[in-house]
Amino acid sequence: MSKARFSFTFSALLLLCLVLLTWPATLRVSTSSVPDFGSRTAFANPPRRSNGLTDVVQWDNYTLFVRGQRILLYSGEFHAFRIPVPDLWLDIFQKMKAAGLNGVSIYIHWGLSHPAPGVLDFDDWRDLQSLFDSASAAGLFIVLRPGPYINAETTAGGIAHWVTSQVAGELRTNATDYRAAWEPYIQAIIDATVPNQITNGGPIIAVQIDNEYSQKPINRAEYFAELEAAFRAGGVVVPLTHNEPGEGANFINGTGAVDIFGMDSYPQGQCSDPETWNPVTPNYHQYHESVTPSQPFYMPEFQGGSFDSWAGPGYDACWILTGPDYEDVFYKHNWASNAKLMSFYMLYGYDYGAAIRENRALSPKFDELKRQALFLRSSPEFKKTDWIGDTSTGGVSVNGTGAFVTLLRNPDSGTNFFIARQNDSTSTASVDFTITAQTSTGTLTLPRISNSIALDGRQSKVIVTDYSFGSSNLLYSTASIFFAGRIGSRDVLFLFGESTQSHEAALKLGPSNSGAWGISSFVKFSSDSANDVTTITFLPGITGLVTVWESSSQLVLFSDTVTATSFWAPVIPGSSDLSQYWEFGSNETVLVGGPYLVRNATIQNSELQLTGDLNASVTLTVFAPSNIMTVTWNGMPISDLKDIQGKSSAITGRLNMKATNSFRLPQLTNWKFADSLPEIQATFNDANWITANHTTTNIITPPVFGDGRVLYGCDYGFCEGAVIWRGHFNATGAETSVNLTISGGTAFAASVWINDVFIKSTPSDSSTPSQTNEIFTFPAGSVKTSQDNVVTVVQDNTGIDESGSTPDNSKSPRGIMGFKLNTGEFTTWKLQGKLGGYTGYPDRTRGILNEGGLFGEREGWHLPGFDTSKWQTRPLSEGLPNQDAGIGFFITTFDLHMPSGTDIPISFVFDDDSARYRALLFVNGWQYGKRVGYLGPQVKFPVHQGLLDYNGKNTVAIALWSLDANTIVSPKVTLVADGFIDGGVGHIALNNHKWSPRRSS
């Protein structure tokens, strides 16, 4: 994912103009023109293409084909490395599947899986087979994105840290030593991928090469070619893809070209002004047709949220910026551009303001995504559409001002999809319009009875004509479609719309004596005997579910938007090897209304077996095949079922919460405290520390001043977390200050002492520089004449830079870039980072990024079972003793006894103050939060079950770093339950190994 929002300049506008001027006349037809299907046979049935290695995955200019079947890929981004609890991966995948998605895009993090030269680690939460199995169990296809570079708002963009200092050649090029670095990792990816390809019955349908890159200069293209050759030589036969950052047209042809090209887009900026939108990008379709007209339009990343920066407004603001209205307008604009392969970044990983929040809670963005995805799943005719035209080209006849409408048409069935939004896509006004459409019954002005179609503010709609559901036909609908298809032996159509608007639909129904009309004063019927069509008008004011028409062969439902969202359409598994995959293993489903989540549904004889979650007691409403006589929920029969006899197949009952939320989370008290900065004491011996004596470096920024020694942590094996530097000098008495340039990444901090006397921290304000240059003046009496003196620097590391468009940006300096006493020289520099560095760190389970170089981290104080009985009792809220600057560890334990059969997300919440402190949060040994009081914005840190023991003792450790002396730092932390879910995720294994003695650090 690229952090930049792409601004399309004059060249893009020129391209748009040229495309429009040269657009084939056959595509600028009026909707009043009757399509001549006979003359368009060649266009309607284009040749299928493949990479020549397999025909299991093919494509044409519309979509992918998997096993000979068209798929419209509607997908979301998921990062397993951001939820290191494998038993919870299926939870996320089931939620994605329940929303109607059929795919998941997955980044794999090179740096976590290849932490040191010669060390490959795909154990525990880095295990790929468990990940693939979870996606397969849920019924999701995988687009695998293993990098080596992934960006992903992660340190070094996923490049292994050791590579950034050990590789002399340019990263992300064909440099020989860079290739030698990535080859073992990519081979391990290949070994895991090959047996899990769709060609072998697995879920992987494509593999992405690297991430958002350019084809020039040639060494970058040759790097892509090397990666592609490695995948092919290793047996990867599914298509290889690329995600272009904007409209750059890289890797379509020439060296390094991939099988299927894709374009990423992030139309919104950052989150500081969340109510202000950038408009839609108007030329997506024209751009695609100009660069890859023979391929399906693929968007590997479309903005599904936004990253938040240090000192930013917080992820709730990002959620507002990219909320349900944004999804409605911008995702459907992609549909209008005829995109058929789309993935939304993020769907789940870090919070990002995504549809599934970091604590795994479903948000209203999830609801909108579900409404869209179930429509797409219900609409096979939408998989194959031609872009006919829009309001600006004259291809659509719109009556009224303010609406912008695009027409897509299925060339085989003649089904029309009119996708409408406001002409000003950022407008919050209301507009009304009608459209003139060519249908199987002739030219119609829609709606025919209601006055108009309404768009209230940031809203988009899909108006259909000649749309099929089962064996029935919908002549047109200005209402939205939630579900269309067959349930049992009946054709089912579920329409919905805003209760403040009118809606209209026309369709052929059976004879009036063959079924029953719904009774509602808000629903009006009008029959057209000439065409045997019934027009149904839905007046404003409808709330709840209305049965419009019901017979033995048809069921038509309508509800307001909120009610529709309460329904689910789970896949009833089939018996094939892809049993959980819609259209491959099963075309059978039911409609289930009421629960917070429906995870699975199966049918055994006449029993419907549902599993899912509740967040409240609700009325259950089920539309199922007519032979269903009993229903179970999470294995328990529902005893009060009604309406299961006669014509109606609506089954109703009551789902009551089994568990009660009478539990209480404990207060975090009885803190124990110990100082974690012995390095400033006169008695501290750093003889066993590494001597910083390098005079050369592969880091791209050389030292800016000093005596030639290189003081970059990664050059000595310390790339992660805090590093402590100790510079020795023999004082003459003339030394009064030291000039230091320190680099730790955006929003870093560093604190400096002379001997045991604190000088100051940098930066001294609330700015967020990646490096600072300051004079540190020695306090009077702090220098010891004719003795060894030590300047101690505690330097934080907020991560290594992503490379972006400049590959070697990831060779970023982290350490002391410049050092100089006002007079005299340093004799020795010593440094210590995480215990063992990246080659010998002891905690292989929690991984390379879990620990840094603080004394308490090196000793393992944060791990469960460390004995603090001899430590001082001190409340966290009192901060460090004597209001000193420095670092201390606060540790306490607490017990949890959570109700069985529940899913209760828990967060650690800091008070929202602005004190100058930095704090690391460790829960049962896992570093799971970094609170920077004076910057923020994050104060809430969700910690998952599996890291937390929900039925036992838990250890929480906070490394508190107070940046200033004589300053009150009094953080408070509380446990907060983010919800109470009955049902949940089942058994969650723990993997929290305990403390054991470590070698001296």
Q: Tell me which residues are annotated as active site.
A: 212, 301
Q: Which of 190, 193, 172 is nearest to 181 (CA)?
A: 172
H/E segment holding residue 607:
strand 607-613
Nearest 5°: phi and psi at 707?
Answer: -115, 15
127 neighbors 106 (Cβ within 8 angstroms): no
Dist CA 594 CA 617 (whole Å): 9
Give residue 586's identity as a one-letter amino acid code: S
Cis ω on the peptide bond leading into residue 779 (within 30° of 0)? no
Would you say how long the chain is, in residues? 1001
Dist CA 302 CA 77 (whole Å): 10
Q: What is the DSSP track for 717-783?
A: T--SS-EEEEEEEE--S---EEEEEEE-STT--EEEEETTEEEEEES-SS---SEEEEEEEPPTT-S
Question: What region, left, alpha or beta, does residue 605 occupy, with left being phi > 0 and alpha being psi -120 to 50 degrees?
Answer: left
Dist CA 220 CA 247 (whole Å): 18
* Sequence-ordered alpha helix ranges (H) in 531-571: 561-565
- Which of helix, strand or coil describes residue 507? strand
- Which of helix, strand or coil describes residue 819? strand
* Sequence-ordered alpha helix ranges (H) in 194-303: 218-233, 284-291
Dist CA 142 CA 75 (whole Å): 9
Residue keyed to tokens 């200050």: 737
- Which of helix, strand or coil describes residue 705? strand
Question: What region, left, alpha or beta, does residue 859 occupy, with left being phi > 0 and alpha being psi -120 to 50 degrees?
Answer: alpha
DSSP 883: G
Dist CA 555 CA 873 (whole Å): 68
In what order do the strands lie in the sheet containing 490-497? 480-487, 490-497, 554-560, 545-551, 515-517
741 neighbors 712 (Cβ within 8 angstroms): no
* Cα of 823 vs its chain's centroid, Å: 53
Query: Using CA atoms in the order 96, 99, 100, 103, what is the torsion angle rounded to 10 degrees?
Result: -20
Dist CA 561 CA 480 (whole Å): 9
H/E segment holding residue 18:
helix 10-21
Dist CA 342 CA 373 (whole Å): 11
Dist CA 371 CA 364 (whole Å): 11
